[in-house]
Amino acid sequence: MLREAEQRLTRDHQDPSAAQFLLLEGHQWTFTQLVQHYRDQVPSDEWRTYQQQILRVGRGEPAQYVLGHAPFYGRDFQVTPATLIPREETEELVEWVLASVPTSEAHVIDVGTGSGAIAVTLQAERPQWQVTATDISTAALQVAQANAQRLAAKVRFTSGDLLAPVQGQRFDAIVSNPPYIDREELAVMDDSVRRYEPEQALYAADHGLAFYHRFAAVLTDFLAPKGSFFAEIGYRQGPAVQALFQQALPGATVTIRQDMSGHDRMVRVNLTD
């Protein structure tokens, strides 16, 4: 069944690895467990369900949306077309935050939380932290709240644009995976991302830099003394993002960090006082 599905996806010009992903995630198996079941006879109802899933992926729909969930930092998160699919690069952002914010009772906010993957993970990994999450999308917030409840993460959710819902509050860390794709990059984007993932979570004006400009203008109003801002960035945006934060916040330390593939992927802005 797996080999036939891989061949079908190849014929449909889709990534054949999605066939294995669907089997692993559908059963909550590791690869070793999949191998152990290779000689099992597949029940007819499971076979029909799997064929329908492969048909949808063959048409370009992301496998995570087909399943309705996606793995992130060792946990399973519900995802819908109202939320971005959490990715490995964002796990690296979470790891950076966890390693850089040692305060036992830190107050942290995830801006534009989407599925809640960042906020829920931070609170689950650091139960002593106070974690807040915002999003302008009501549909996304509903998904994030469901994920927090299922994973027993005590995250406070609030609706609104950027940091407007928490006016007057200060945070030890502000974290965000904001929209940062330049619409001029549409031609090189994956077709499934263009067709299925939410536009307002993907694209930003000013060649993808609009949200970094907005953050730079307000960080001093929302960060605690010596607080830090962390964000994911586009792989070609490192120099521009670093320059705009240094210009807006001359006293801050701005660090660009690469992902495991060697691409610029994250920025950290530390306020010195």
Q: Find where tokens 């007057």 sit.
A: 168
pTM score: 0.92
Q: Which residues pair with 223 in a beta bridge?
A: 171
Q: Delimit the CATH 3.40.50.150 region(s) of the chain.
A: 69-270
- Decide: 134 and 111 in contact? Cβ < 8 Å: yes
- Residue 188, pLDDT > 70, answer no
Which strands, in side-by-side order, build the sheet including 107-111? 155-159, 130-135, 107-111, 171-176, 223-232, 264-270, 253-258
Phi first, then psi, for residue 29 (nearest 5°) are -100, 150
User: What type of residue is 4?
Assistant: E
- Written as six digits, the tokens of 114 are 């989407």
Give the DSSP letter of residue 79.
-
Phi first, then psi, for residue 223 (nearest 5°) are -90, 140
Q: Maximum CA pair distance of the chain?
A: 65
CA 7 to chain centre: 30
pLDDT category at 193 given cuts 50, 70, 90 is confident
Quote the CA–CA distance of 172 and 110 in Å, as a whole number.
12
- Residue 187, pLDDT > 70, answer no
- Which residues carry a binding-site annotation for S-adenosyl-L-methionine? 112-116, 135, 177
- Residue 39, pLDDT > 90, answer yes
- Residue 115, pLDDT > 80, answer yes
- Residue 133, pLDDT > 90, answer yes
Instruction: Calculate what percentage of the chain has a pLDDT beyond 70.
Output: 98
Question: What torsion do the CA atoms of 22, 27, 33, 34 make, to the nearest 10 degrees?
Answer: -30
Q: What is the reported pLDDT for 200?
A: 84
For residue range 41-85, what is the model confidence (pLDDT) as tens digits? 999 999 999 999 999 999 999 999 999 999 999 999 999 999 999
Q: Please give the CATH architecture assigned to the domain spanning 69-270.
A: 3-Layer(aba) Sandwich (3.40)
- Please compute, for residue 143, the number of CA atoms within 13 A of its CA located in the half-sphere on the CB side: 26
pLDDT, mean of residues 199-207: 84
Q: What is the reported pLDDT for 21?
A: 95
- Residue 107, pLDDT > 70, answer yes
pLDDT category at 270 given cuts 50, 70, 90 is very high
- Got the DSSP string for 167-223? TT--EEEEEE----B-GGGGGGS-HHHHHHS-GGGTB-HHHHTHHHHHHHHHHHHHE
For residue range 215-263, what is the model confidence (pLDDT) as tens digits? 999 999 999 998 999 999 999 999 999 999 999 999 899 999 999 999 9
Average pLDDT of the chain is 94
- Which residues carry a binding-site annotation for substrate? 177-180
Quote the CA–CA distance of 70 and 76 in Å, as a whole number.
6
- Which residues carry a binding-site annotation? 112-116, 135, 177-180
Quote the CA–CA distance of 260 and 24 in Å, as a whole number.
24
DSSP alpha helices (H): ranges in the chain? 2-11, 17-27, 31-36, 44-58, 63-67, 88-100, 117-125, 138-150, 191-196, 205-208, 210-222, 238-248
Q: Which residues pair with 266 in a beta bridge?
A: 232, 257
